[in-house]
Amino acid sequence: MGGGVWVATRAQTGTRDDLAVVATAYAVFSLGLAPVFTLATDLIVSTAPPERAGAAAGISEMSTEFGGALGIALLGSVVTFIYRGAMATTLGSDLPSNALETASDTLGGALSVAATLPDELGAALVTASRSAFVEAFQTTALACTAIALVAAAGTVLVLGRPQQNPASDAAEL
């Protein structure tokens, strides 16, 4: 997974091969992520009593979908926040206010505004917007890495504990 994210953050937008690089990065990321989902589902379903296996599988699937959607929403908001902050400080005084507002919304908006500006200012806006987007994406990817490491450590701590037998605990009382 980390290799896929690393390749994706190194992609250069606007080059001939950018789609191939992103597709390759996504494939590498997916190959790393697929076993995690498989092992997690197996662990969840196998620890449930047989009569509850269907419910456990349903809860596992629902939590995967919910977690993915929540992660996309939260991390997408972080990318947007960082991108807008970087755009406001980069060219804030050189652009008309309506152009700055559109350019700060999205990378696509910045590129469309750049096409309407004089050549030198348009080129500066393209460079600044791409730089801000890459900065936002890389910062968010590092945050994701930190979150994944904390989750992995928590998983090791929880799953590494010795199992307690409730019957033996009751016998000791």
In a domain, 110, yes or no: yes
In a domain, 170, yes or no: no
In a domain, 165, yes or no: no
What is the reported pTM? 0.68
d(CA 64, CA 61): 5
Q: What is the pLDDT of residues 12-51, one digit of tens each?
A: 555 666 777 777 777 887 888 888 888 888 888 888 898 9
- Contact present, 125 and 95 (Cβ < 8 Å): yes
Whether residue 122 has pLDDT greater than 60:
yes
Q: What is the pLDDT of residues 63-93, one digit of tens each?
A: 889 988 999 999 999 999 999 888 878 766 6
Total domains, the chain: 2
Pair (72, 30) in one structural domain: no
- Contact present, 5 and 144 (Cβ < 8 Å): yes
Pair (130, 83) in one structural domain: yes
Maximum separation of any 2 CA atoms in the chain, in Å = 83
- Contact present, 25 and 11 (Cβ < 8 Å): yes
Average pLDDT over residues 124-131: 88
Pair (74, 45) in one structural domain: no
Domain of residue 4: give its range.
1-49
The pLDDT value recorded for residue 103 is 85
Neighbours of 106 (CB within 10 A): 16
Of the two residues 148 and 162, the one the predictor is more confident about is 148
Average pLDDT over residues 87-107: 79
